[in-house]
Structures are given as C-alpha cells and as structure tokens.
C-alpha cells in the first residue's frame, strides 16, 4: 500500500510526486501515456513557481530551459502601447526573475526525470486508472487534467464562469532571430484580437481569436495560418509546429476533496491563458497539498489540516480566473475603460493576490498570506538563497535565538551576511518572521511575542478545524 497515489503525471502530478519523494513518502504515480504530451501548451511561469522548483531541488535543471520574460503589454492594432501591468525587469523579490518563458514538453520531462531520485516514488507509465477502489493508497490526488475521469466519476460538477471563446493557437520554431518584439503583446485589435508570446529558445506563439462564422477546419491548411501571420513574419518564416483551435473557458470544480481523494491542477480548475496562470495555479496546488500531506503522514498532524487545502487554494484560483477573464475581455475590446498602468511597488512581486484564509497568524502584518521575500545571503562562507537554509519545512527567521520543535527550523540573522540588502526588508523592523513550507508569510513578531507566534502556528496545525 502506498501512502499517496497520484493519478496523472502532467506538470502538476509530477511536481507533487517530486515533493512527496523529497519527504520520503511512499508514492505511486499512475500515468496513462508513456511520454510527456509533445506539443507546447504552457509557455509562461512566474517567480513563485521557480521558487517551488528550487524547493523540489530542480532549479538548476529548470534554469537550463527557461528564459526570463521581458513582460507583457497591451497594444492597439498598430502596435502602440495602451498600458502594461508592471515593470518585469526589476531586481528579484522572491529570489527569481518575475517571469520566465519556456516550452512545456521540456519542463514536463525534467519533472518526470526528477522522480528517478526517489526510491519511495514509483512511476507507472501506461497505467490508466479507471477504478478508484482498485487504488491501494491512504490518499489519492487526481492530477488527471481538464477532462478528469476521476472528477466525473466522483460526480463533482464544474461551476462555469461564463467565459467561452475559440482561439487558434499557433506555435512556430525559428532557427534564426526573426526580429520580432521581445515582449509579450496582447493586441487589442477589434478586427482580430491576438496574443503574441516570444517564448524560449526559438519558440514563438500566436493566439488569434476566431471570428463569428470562422470554422476550425479552415485553419487546418497552413496557408490560411500563414495569412494570419503575415503582419508579423514573411510566409517562409519559421516552422509551424502546431496550429489548433482551443476553447478558452473558465471552470472550477465544485469540491476539491471527496474523502481520501483530492483534485489538483486542471482537474480542479481551468482558465483562459491570457495571464499564463493555468499550470502555475496547479503547481501552487501541488506545493500547498504536499506540505500538508507531509505534516499528516510524517509529523502526526490531524487530517483536518488537509481541509485547509481547498480553503486556501480556491479563492486564489478564483482571483486568477477573474484576472485572466479581465485580460481576455480587454484584448477582445469588451471593457469600456482600460486599467491604469501598474506602479512598481517595493513589497509586491506580482499582481497575484495573497492567500486570505487558512493556516495564518491572526496578526496585523499586512504581508501575512503573501509570498515571503527571499534574500540572497552568505552563511558559513557559501552564497545561497534563504530558503535553502530554511529547509523543506517551516522556518523562523529570527534576530534572537529561539528553539522550536522538530517541525520548524530557526535561522538566526546573526549567522547571515545579507548579499542583496533584502534581509531587513523581509524582517520589516520585527524580531522574527515565520515562513510556511510553501514560503508564504505565516506572521511576524517582536522579541517578546515570538513564542506566541510559533505556538499559534502549532495550534492551528495540531488543533484547528477548517
């Protein structure tokens, strides 16, 4: 019997299996196909996701296949900037660039290969799960994608957010620099809304909204696709690797847990790709669920902690969906007033919302529920990112020594040299900051209230009903 069975080894299932493998949890992964899905889908990920890969011990491998993104702008039909969300090229706040571009099949491969490190993880390729009862595992996580048979089998419906558009997704590879804009563009052209993504290592993507009366089949011929690409590249530019119509829609599963079974990734939620957060949201699900499963299976925390998974993740996903729909409506000319160009706020690394409910201190620090800054430090003569000192579980960054239980490590500020000036910003005048295993700020404290802060985290995990 395994402690956890994962159904589906797309990016979400594979990342979850890596995190459980690191925790030494007996995990069986069942994947219907033999090879990762070969065509590019996701091509954008953000700093929090790179930080999660860092925690999974895969940052070096992932760094080889991503390139920093230069950001995203909304432009009119002539290419003139209407507005942009924020300054993407500022110094890293979470330890990584704000955004990256990549090709999903390469990432899927790295995540799968990462599993070879763990004797406790068994990957079963060509293993399609049709009967949940046949799975001998304490917990099951269904990461089986958008058309999840597991979700349907459990009679879990999808709530539909009413966004429904067909777009043609076109991917090209270029051997030479095609001299195209270096920044992601949302082209607000009323005659043909377009998303353009300069991706990594010669990969470029265009998404063209299909107009009323246009059929998908007319784009099966690449000649028609080339007509759409004509304002951007010559007819013989690049090699088309895929041109396919996708239905962009937004749905969320009504429940994310049924007894021992959890839904994660596309099986729990889907969103249009305008802000590139579909896979990222699934990766966050996996990071959230992984430390909670570890707490239950390895630290004896009551199973009720697992109820906080949906409490925390659903509202975050719903906000991402709202932002994706807003971006889709802007590019399609469906909003009367454009948002203001974002200002660069020192404490905010992204427009994404904080987590609002769940395993957090009730203190008043406005960083609670946000990703913690990740300073670059030197300790014992080695330069590294702070999480690497904090370890895989909770950590308390503290100006005074404080002994926590085995579930939480204390990192003493006095033992560190601040290499990028952000250690003080992370502490923000307080004596200590308590950081969760998924690197969200739990809370902070002055010297005389550190034990109160640490005790409240312990109480929430070992005693709370969510």
Residues interacting with ligand FAD, by CB under 6 A? 7-13, 30-33, 41-45, 128-129, 143-145, 149, 169, 246, 265-266, 273, 276-280, 282
Q: What is the dihedral of CA 92, 95, 97, 98, to 10 degrees?
A: -80
Q: What is the dihedral of CA 281, 274, 343, 397, to 10 degrees?
A: 10
- Maximum alpha-carbon separation in the chain: 71
The distance of closest approach from Cβ of residue 364 to ligand FAD in the complex, given in angstroms and rounded to an integer, is: 33
The distance of closest approach from Cβ of residue 69 to ligand FAD in the complex, given in angstroms and rounded to an integer, is: 10
Which CB, 238 or 265, lies closer to ligand FAD? 265
Q: CA-CA distances (angstroms) from residue 118 to 19, 52, 181, 461? A: 10, 18, 42, 27
Which CB, 19 or 45, lies closer to ligand FAD? 45
Q: Which H/E stretch holds residue 50?
A: helix 47-55
Which CB, 7 or 450, lies closer to ligand FAD? 7
Find, among 273, 269, 351, the residue nearest to 314 by Cα. 269
The distance of closest approach from Cβ of residue 435 to ligand FAD in the complex, given in angstroms and rounded to an integer, is: 24
The distance of closest approach from Cβ of residue 460 to ligand FAD in the complex, given in angstroms and rounded to an integer, is: 28
Which CB, 2 or 398, lies closer to ligand FAD? 2
Q: 11-22 and 47-55 are packed helices; what angle lies between their axes, rounded to 10 degrees? A: 40
The distance of closest approach from Cβ of residue 286 to ligand FAD in the complex, given in angstroms and rounded to an integer, is: 9
User: Could you tell me which residues are beta bridge partners of residue 198?
Assistant: 204
Cα–Cα dist 118/25, whole Å: 9
Which residue's CB atom is positioned nearest to ligand FAD? 10
The distance of closest approach from Cβ of residue 142 to ligand FAD in the complex, given in angstroms and rounded to an integer, is: 8
Which CB, 13 or 55, lies closer to ligand FAD? 13
For the chain, the C-alpha Rg in angstroms (whole number) is: 23
State residue 453 phi and psi, 5-degree precision.
-65, -50
The distance of closest approach from Cβ of residue 317 to ligand FAD in the complex, given in angstroms and rounded to an integer, is: 11
Which CB, 96 or 394, lies closer to ligand FAD? 96
Helices (H) and strands (E) in the chain, counts: 11, 24
Q: CA-CA distances (angstroms) from residue 379 to 56, 376, 393? A: 21, 10, 19
Are 45 and 280 a contacting pair, CB within 8 Å? yes
Q: Which H/E stretch holds residue 61?
A: helix 59-63
Which CB, 264 or 305, lies closer to ligand FAD? 264
Which CB, 44 or 203, lies closer to ligand FAD? 44
Which CB, 189 or 266, lies closer to ligand FAD? 266
The distance of closest approach from Cβ of residue 123 to ligand FAD in the complex, given in angstroms and rounded to an integer, is: 11
The distance of closest approach from Cβ of residue 160 to ligand FAD in the complex, given in angstroms and rounded to an integer, is: 17
b/e for 155-178, b at 16 or more Cβ within 10 A?
Answer: ebebeebebeebbbbbbbebeeee
Q: What are the start-end ranges of the H helices in 64-188? A: 104-114, 149-153
Cα–Cα dist 47/51, whole Å: 6
Which CB, 10 or 390, lies closer to ligand FAD? 10
Which CB, 281 or 456, lies closer to ligand FAD? 281
The distance of closest approach from Cβ of residue 16 to ligand FAD in the complex, given in angstroms and rounded to an integer, is: 9
The distance of closest approach from Cβ of residue 456 to ligand FAD in the complex, given in angstroms and rounded to an integer, is: 33
Give 3-state DSSP helix, strand, coil % of the chain, rounded to 5: 30, 25, 40
């Amino acid at each position: 019997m395994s402690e956890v069975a994962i159904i589906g080894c797309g990016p979400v299932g594979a990342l979850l299996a890596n995190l459980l493998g690191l925790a030494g949890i007996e995990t069986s992964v069942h994947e219907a196909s033999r090879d990762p899905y070969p065509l590019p889908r996701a091509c954008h990920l953000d700093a929090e996701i790179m930080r999660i890969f860092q925690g999974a011990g895969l940052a070096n491998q992932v760094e080889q296949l991503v390139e920093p993104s230069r950001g995203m702008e909304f432009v009119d039909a002539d290419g003139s900037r209407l507005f942009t969300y924020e300054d993407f090229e500022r110094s890293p706040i979470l330890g990584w660039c704000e955004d990256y571009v990549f090709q999903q099949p390469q990432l899927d491969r790295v995540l799968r290969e990462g599993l070879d490190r763990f004797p406790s993880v068994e990957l079963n390729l060509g293993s399609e799960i049709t009967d949940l009862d046949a799975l001998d595992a304490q917990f099951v996580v269904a990461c089986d994608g958008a058309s999840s048979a597991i979700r349907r089998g459990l009679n879990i419906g999808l709530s539909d957010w009413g966004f429904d558009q067909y777009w043609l997704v076109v991917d090209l590879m270029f051997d030479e620099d095609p001299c195209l804009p270096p920044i992601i563009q949302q082209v607000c052209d009323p005659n043909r809304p377009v998303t353009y993504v300069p991706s990594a290592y010669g990969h470029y993507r265009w998404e063209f909204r299909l107009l009323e009366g246009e059929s998908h089949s007319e784009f099966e011929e690449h000649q028609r696709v080339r007509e759409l690409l004509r304002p951007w590249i010559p007819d013989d530019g690049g090699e088309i690797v895929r041109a396919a119509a996708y239905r962009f829609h937004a749905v969320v599963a009504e429940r994310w847990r049924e007894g021992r079974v959890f839904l994660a990734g596309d099986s729990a939620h889907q969103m249009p790709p305008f802000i590139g957060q579909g896979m990222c949201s699934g990766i966050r699900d996996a990071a959230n669920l992984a430390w909670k499963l570890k707490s239950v299976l390895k630290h004896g925390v009551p199973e009720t902690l697992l109820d906080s998974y949906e409490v925390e993740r659903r509202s975050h996903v719903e906000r991402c969906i709202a932002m994706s729909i807003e971006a889709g409506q802007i590019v399609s000319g469906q909003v009367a007033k454009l948002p203001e160009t974002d200002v660069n706020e020192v404490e905010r690394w992204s427009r994404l919302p904080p987590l609002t409910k769940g395993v957090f201190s009730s203190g008043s620090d406005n960083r609670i529920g946000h990703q913690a800054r990740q300073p670059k430090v030197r300790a014992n003569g080695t330069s590294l990112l702070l999480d690497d000192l904090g370890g895989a579980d909770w950590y308390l960054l503290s100006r005074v020594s404080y002994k926590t239980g085995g579930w939480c490590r204390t990192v003493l500020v006095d033992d560190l040299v601040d290499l990028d000036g952000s250690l003080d910003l992370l502490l923000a005048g307080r004596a200590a900051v308590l950081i969760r295993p998924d690197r969200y700020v739990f809370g902070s404290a002055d010297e005389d209230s550190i034990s109160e802060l640490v005790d409240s985290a312990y109480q929430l995990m070992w005693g709370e009903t969510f």
